[in-house]
Amino acid sequence: MSDIPLESALVPPAPQLLAAMARRRSVPPAALSAPAPSHEQLRHMLALALRVPDHGLREPWRFVVIDGEARAELGRGLAPLYRVANPQMDEAKREKFAGIMERLFLASPMAVVVISRPDRNCAIPVFEQELSAGAVCMNLLHAAQASGFGAMWVTGWAATNPAAATLIGAREGEKIAGIVHLGTAASVPPERPRPDAEALTSFWTPSI
Ligand SMILES: Cc1cc2nc3c(=O)[nH]c(=O)nc-3n(C[C@H](O)[C@H](O)[C@H](O)COP(=O)(O)O)c2cc1C
């Protein structure tokens, strides 16, 4: 992985890391094709993704990986849940979206679901534990891109509807922080305008 001993507290300047961060962008699932990361590559990426700040060391996250045949099987379970959850919807519209749910995980060769599982019986605020789960998603995007793969962090109905989230693997008290689609980028989307850090930053003064 690296020649630098893990005990070494100081990481030397890493211009390549900065360059990769400056170029990071999402690749939509439709542009992600095979090959998916191997399970060996995935293990490495997930280990890097977990190197996040974690107040109180609660480990308030875990992963569910969806690949291969599981993608279609999960979709076959999600479609009927969508129909049940939307009884009032116009039938044609409902069928269209149920179909989208059925094909959700077929869009990319692999998805990693990042599950937020805050410990509610400790002093660390749930919000902070949820932020840590978001940091895992972000780290996974960087690890994927730096490993030569495309990735995109999505949520949507399947992540937020309780029955769908349960089918995907969320347990009582857990939430889906993100579904991170992974694969080989067949094309790279055009760059989008990026926020202006200067306009979004102020330096504190007494009159702020
Ligand atoms: C928590 C979260 C959920 C998101 N869910 C979706 C989603 O369901 N669908 C979508 O198109 N983009 C979603 N996005 C946005 C994309 O991940 C991505 O940021 C966006 O396409 C812009 O691309 P970029 O990452 O290159 O800036 C989500 C982002 C976050 C942080």
Instruction: Confirm whether 142 is domain-assigned.
Output: yes
Alpha carbons 108 and 115: distance in angstroms, whole number:
19
- Which residues lie across from 62 on neighbouring strands? 115
Contact of 71 with 142, CB cutoff 8 Å: no
- Which tokens hold the place of 62? 């875990």
Instruction: Confirm whether 23 is domain-assigned.
Output: no
Pocket test for ligand 1, best of 153, 181, 191, 194 (most atoms within 8 A of CB): 153
- For residue 45, the enclosing domain spans 29-185
Instruction: Confirm whether 105 is domain-assigned.
Output: yes
Contact of 140 with 180, CB cutoff 8 Å: yes
155 lines ligand 1 (CB under 6 A): yes
Give the Å distance between the CA of 203 and the centre of ligand 1: 29
The reported pLDDT for the residue numbered 142 is: 98
Alpha carbons 105 and 158: distance in angstroms, whole number:
10
Contact of 149 with 37, CB cutoff 8 Å: yes
Q: Output the domain CATH number for residue 148.
A: 3.40.109.10
Pocket test for ligand 1, best of 140, 155, 180, 192 (most atoms within 8 A of CB): 155
User: For residue 21, what are the CA distances in angstroms to 16, 45, 130, 145, 153?
Assistant: 9, 16, 23, 9, 16
Pocket test for ligand 1, best of 24, 25, 26 (most atoms within 8 A of CB): 26
Instruction: Confirm whether 92 is domain-assigned.
Output: yes
For the chain, the farthest-separated pair of C-alpha atoms sits apart, in whole angstroms, at 60
What is the pLDDT tens value at each position of the chain, 208 positions in all?
455 666 666 778 999 999 999 999 999 999 999 999 999 999 999 999 999 999 999 999 999 999 999 999 999 999 999 999 999 999 999 999 999 999 999 999 999 999 999 999 999 999 999 999 999 999 999 999 999 999 999 999 999 999 999 999 999 999 999 999 999 999 988 999 999 999 999 999 998 7
- Which residues lie across from 110 on neighbouring strands? 67, 182
**Helical packing angle, 69-85 and 91-103, nearest 10°:** 160
Instruction: Confirm whether 174 is domain-assigned.
Output: yes
CB neighbour list of residue 200: distance below 8 Å, 6 or more residues apart: none
185 lines ligand 1 (CB under 6 A): no
pLDDT digits (tens, 9 = 90+) for 16-74: 999 999 999 999 999 999 999 999 999 999 999 999 999 999 999 999 999 999 999 99
How many domains, the chain? 1
85 lines ligand 1 (CB under 6 A): no
Give the Å distance between the CA of 153 and the centre of ligand 1: 5
Instruction: Confirm whether 79 is domain-assigned.
Output: yes
Q: Is the peptide bond before 87 cis (omega within 30 degrees of 0)?
A: no
Q: What's the CA dihedral at 46, 25, 96, 155 to 10 degrees?
A: 50
